[in-house]
C-alpha cells in the first residue's frame, strides 16, 4: 500500500497549462518550512467538458515537476470516480477518490445489518473518545439506522478499491472514500460507524471526505455556521484518531476537505485544529486556476482582455446549460450578474476586481465569479484561440496562479499568524 503524506493539497488545472505555476506555490511554502504534497485532481465531469484525458494531466504534472526540479512526492487524483468511470484513469493516477455518495441510502438487508452489529458490540453504549468532551451515546437503534444507510456504500468502496488494485496489478496507490456529494452532513457518531464498516472491507483507506455542515459553493467562501463547522471538524479528527486505534486502520488516515476552493473563513478553525492535534489534512480545491487565467488575460489588456470579456458574454448567454451540471454547488443570483454591455465597457482593473476573490474590493462580484467558474466550457470550445492566448500571456497568468494559491490559500492554512504547522 502507498501511504499519504501528512499534508496534501489538491489543485485543479482545467486546461493543463498551469501545473508549473501551481507547483511554484508548493515550492514557496516548502521554503517557509512546511512541506505539502501537490495533488492534481480532475473529475470525469471536467474531462468530458474540456475534452481532455487523464494522460494530459499526467503529462503536464510530470513536465512541471521535471522543469522545476521538484524532488518530493506528488500525486494524480482520479477525482470522484466510480466503477463506471475509473478505468481510463488507471494507467495515469496514483490517488483515487472513490465516490460512493450515490449509494448512501441504498438499504442493507436485515441480515447484513445484524451481522454488522454482532461484529461491533463496541459501537453500542457510552463511547469515550479522546478529544471529545462529552462521551458519545450510541444506541443499538442508532447503529442499525446508520448501518442501513451507509453499509452498502462502504461495501461498494471496498469493491471499487479491489477493482483498481486488480486492474493495476498493484496496491501502490492512495485510496480516498468520499461521501461529500450528498444532501445531509454526516455526524461524528455516523463517521465512527462508517469507519468501522470501511475497516471491515479490509482496504487501507488513507483519506475520508465527509460532507460537512454548511454550503461549499464552487470558488466562493463558506456559507454557514463557522463555530458549528469548527466543532464538527474537531470531533471528526477525534473520531478518526479513535478509529485508527480501534480498527487498525492506517495511521496515516486523515480528513479530506472537498472545499470547492476559497473557503477562506474556515481556514483559521482548520489550522487551529491541526496545530492543536498534530493531525494531517488533505484539502482539495476546485479548478480556480482557470479563473486566474481569465484574470491574467484581463490584466494583460488589449486582445486578451477582449477575449476574457467575450468568454463572459458567451457564458451569460449559455448560463442555464453551464450551471445545470453544478446546480447543487453554486448559487448564482441572476439579478447580480453584470450585463454584456456593462462588461464590454470594463477596463482591465474593473474585470480583475470583479473576478479576483478579494472580498475587500467593492468591485468583487461572487455571482460573476461563480458563473465564470462553471463557464470553462466556453473557453474549451474556443479551442486554439483560448490556448494560444494562454501561451501568449503565460507570464502574467502564471504570476496570478501562483500568488492565488500561495497567498490566499496556503498562507492562512499552513502558516497563519503564529507558528507554521509542523509537517
Residues in touch with Zn ion (CB under 5 A): 180, 258
> Between residues 29 and 98, which has the closer beta carbon with respect to Zn ion?
98
- Provide the β-strand partners of residue 282: 8, 256
Q: How far is the CB of 180 from Zn ion (least distance, A)?
A: 4
Shortest Cβ distance from residue 329 to Zn ion (Å)? 9
C-alpha–C-alpha distance, residues 63 and 41, integer Å:
16
Dihedral (C-alpha) 298, 304, 309, 315: value to the nearest 10 degrees? -110
**63 grid coordinates:** 513536465
Q: In this complex, which beta carbon is closest to Zn ion, that of residue 180 or of residue 190? A: 180
Quick one: 11 or 390, whose CB is closer to Zn ion?
11
Q: Least distance to Zn ion from the beta carbon of 374, Å?
A: 15
Question: CA 46 to CA 97: how far, in whole Å?
Answer: 15
Grid coordinates belonging to 315: 457564458
For Zn ion, the closer CB: 258 or 271: 258
Measured from the CB atom, is 98 or 411 closer to Zn ion?
98
Distance of closest approach, residue 211 Cβ to Zn ion, in angstroms = 9
Least gap, CB of 216 to Zn ion (angstroms): 8
Question: What cell does 204 get?
Answer: 487501507
Nearest distance from residue 188's CB to Zn ion, in Å? Answer: 19
Which grid cell is 322?
453551464
How far apart are alpha carbons 189 and 191 in whole angstroms?
5
Q: How many CA atoms lie within 13 A of 30 on its CB side?
A: 15
CB of 365 to Zn ion, least distance (A): 25
Distance between CA 141 and CA 150 in Å, rounded?
14
Ranges of beta strands (E only) in 301-355 are: none
Q: Which is nearer to Zn ion, 219 or 398 (CB)?
A: 219
Residue number, 260 or 398, with CB nearest to Zn ion: 260
CB of 258 to Zn ion, least distance (A): 3
Give least dist CB 326 to Zn ion, A. Answer: 12
> What is the rounded distance in angstroms from the CA atom of residue 32 to the CA atom of residue 77?
26
Closest to Zn ion by CB, 180 or 236:
180
Nearest residue to Zn ion, by Cβ distance, number only: 258
Q: 347: burial class by Cβ within 10 Å (0-12, 13-18, 19+)?
A: exposed
Give residues with Cβ within 8 angstroms of 86, minimum separation 6: 78, 96, 160, 163, 164
Q: Which helix (H) or strand (E) holds 209?
A: strand 205-209
In angstroms, what is the minimal distance from the CB of 51 to Zn ion?
Answer: 22
Give backbone dihedrals phi and psi of 220, rounded to 5 degrees, phi first.
Answer: -125, 175
Residue 276: CB atoms within 10 A of its CB come to 11
Question: Judged by CB, which is closer to Zn ion: 258, or 310?
Answer: 258
Nearer to Zn ion, 43 or 252 (CB): 43
398's enclosing H/E stretch is helix 394-403
CA–CA dist 223, 212 (Å, integer): 11
62 vs 31: CA distance, rounded Å: 21
Amino acid at each position: 500500500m502507498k501511504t499519504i503524506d501528512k499534508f496534501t493539497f489538491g489543485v485543479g488545472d482545467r486546461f493543463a497549462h498551469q501545473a508549473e505555476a501551481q507547483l511554484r506555490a508548493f515550492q514557496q511554502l516548502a521554503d517557509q518550512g512546511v512541506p505539502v504534497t501537490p495533488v492534481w485532481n480532475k473529475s470525469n465531469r471536467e474531462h468530458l467538458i474540456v475534452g481532455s484525458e487523464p494522460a494530459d494531466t499526467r503529462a503536464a504534472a510530470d513536465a512541471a515537476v521535471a522543469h522545476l526540479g521538484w524532488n518530493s512526492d506528488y500525486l494524480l487524483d482520479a477525482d470522484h470516480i466510480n466503477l463506471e468511470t475509473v478505468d481510463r484513469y488507471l494507467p495515469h493516477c496514483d490517488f483515487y477518490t472513490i465516490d460512493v455518495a450515490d449509494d448512501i441510502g441504498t438499504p442493507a438487508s436485515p441480515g447484513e445489518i445484524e451481522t454488522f452489529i454482532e461484529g461491533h458490540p463496541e459501537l453500542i453504549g457510552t463511547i469515550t473518545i479522546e478529544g471529545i468532551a462529552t462521551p458519545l451515546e450510541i444506541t443499538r437503534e442508532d447503529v442499525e439506522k446508520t448501518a442501513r444507510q451507509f453499509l452498502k456504500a462502504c461495501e461498494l468502496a471496498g469493491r471499487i478499491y479491489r477493482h483498481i488494485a486488480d486492474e493495476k496489478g498493484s496496491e501502490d496507490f492512495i485510496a480516498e472514500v468520499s461521501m461529500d456529494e450528498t444532501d445531509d452532513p454526516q455526524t461524528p457518531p455516523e463517521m465512527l460507524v462508517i469507519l468501522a464498516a470501511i475497516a471491515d472491507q479490509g482496504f487501507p483507506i488513507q483519506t475520508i471526505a465527509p460532507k460537512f455542515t454548511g454550503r461549499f459553493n464552487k470558488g466562493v467562501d463558506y456559507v454557514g455556521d463557522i463555530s458549528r463547522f469548527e466543532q464538527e471538524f474537531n470531533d471528526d479528527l477525534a473520531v478518526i484518531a479513535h478509529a485508527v486505534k480501534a480498527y487498525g486502520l492506517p495511521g496515516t488516515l486523515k480528513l479530506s476537505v472537498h472545499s470547492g476552493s476559497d473557503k477562506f473563513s474556515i481556514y483559521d478553525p482548520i489550522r487551529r485544529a491541526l496545530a492543536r492535534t498534530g493531525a494531517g489534512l488533505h484539502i482539495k480545491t476546485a479548478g480556480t486556476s482557470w479563473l486566474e487565467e481569465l484574470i491574467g488575460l484581463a490584466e494583460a489588456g488589449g486582445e486578451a482582455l477582449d477575449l476574457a470579456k467575450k468568454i463572459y458574454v458567451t457564458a451569460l448567454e449559455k448560463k442555464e446549460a453551464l450551471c445545470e451540471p453544478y446546480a447543487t454547488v453554486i448559487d448564482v443570483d441572476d439579478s447580480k450578474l453584470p450585463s454584456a454591455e456593462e462588461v464590454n465597457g470594463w477596463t482591465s482593473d474593473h474585470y480583475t476586481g470583479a473576478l479576483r476573490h478579494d472580498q475587500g474590493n467593492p468591485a468583487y462580484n461572487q455571482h460573476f465569479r461563480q458563473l465564470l467558474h462553471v463557464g470553462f466550457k466556453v473557453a474549451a470550445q474556443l479551442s486554439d484561440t483560448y490556448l494560444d492566448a494562454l501561451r501568449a500571456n503565460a507570464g502574467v497568468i502564471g504570476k496570478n496562479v501562483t500568488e492565488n494559491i500561495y497567498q490566499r490559500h496556503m498562507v492562512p492554512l499552513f502558516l497563519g499568524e503564529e507558528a507554521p504547522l509542523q509537517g
